[in-house]
Amino acid sequence: MKFDREDLLLYAVTDSRWLNGERLYDQVEKALKGGATFIQLREKELDQEHFFEEAVEIKELCARYHVPFVINDNVEIALKMDADGVHVGQDDMEAGDVRAKLGSDKIIGVSAHTVEEALLAEERGADYLGVGAVFPTGSKTDVDVLDGGMIREITEAVHIPVIAIGGIGKDNVEKLAGNGLDSLRNLTLACASCNNEAGHLSARQKLDLAMRRRLLTIANELQEIRDELDGRRLPRT
């Protein structure tokens, strides 16, 4: 499946621990109605049979909204039920092996924490990177928070889209503006936002604003380059 950078604008990750009595299907649909542009199904406790059944159901839902759907880690499930792709971590199957299994038309995302990991993932066929954690997160207590300098180094080193991971909410999303990120992936807010459409809309509105500011900065930088080049072309007097 081909996808655009815009598909990564608001990347939602499921977490069944925060269902609060609702069905995951209903929460994902709320996220889609609230503006989610990409869904990752993340299940660490389900057995293979129930994981497969859930994946098929969520994939059909995402297809109705024309939103890409990927599976976290489980390449075999993704292959069996024909997901749009897979997202893997550094301790999971290597990106090149995932590509060999899924083929050239599937989406592969890879988590990266250093420039070296990012470059290797890109070289081995990743379509996008998940970088973080960018803020402290309750969903993964064994990860360190990356500083803004490392995030920028990674975004400047690779040519594929980079999305942010970890602890992102509507109250801190603007702090990431200017880091070269293509999206904000939120491990701790993803399901909380599924419960609250307004939360998704608010986050997306703030992200849109941050991205517009980034585009304005780029436009200004390009204009400065043009002005400098025009100055060099002026005839000598």
Contacts for 122 with CB less than 8 Å, ≥ 6 apart: 129, 158, 159, 160
d(CA 105, CA 95): 14
E-state strands within the chain = 10-13, 38-41, 69-72, 85-88, 107-112, 128-132, 162-165, 183-186
Q: Which of 99, 106, 111, 206 is catalytic?
A: 111
The token pair at 9 is: 């604008």
The question of whether 206 is a catalytic residue gets the answer no
The question of whether 106 is a catalytic residue gets the answer no
Three-point CA angle 90, 93, 56, nearest 5° = 110
From the list 198, 200, 203, 157, the residue with the least C-alpha distance to 180 is 157
The three-class DSSP label of residue 80 is: helix
Q: Which of 124, 140, 152, 214 is catalytic?
A: 140
d(CA 71, CA 90): 15
Q: Within 10 Å of residue 17's Cβ, how many Cβ atoms?
A: 11
The question of whether 111 is a catalytic residue gets the answer yes
**Alpha-carbon dihedral sign for residues 168, 172, 175, 180:** positive
Q: Which of 30, 42, 99, 185 is catalytic?
A: 42
φ, ψ for residue 214, nearest 5 deg: -65, -45
d(CA 153, CA 129): 13
Catalytic residues: 42, 111, 140
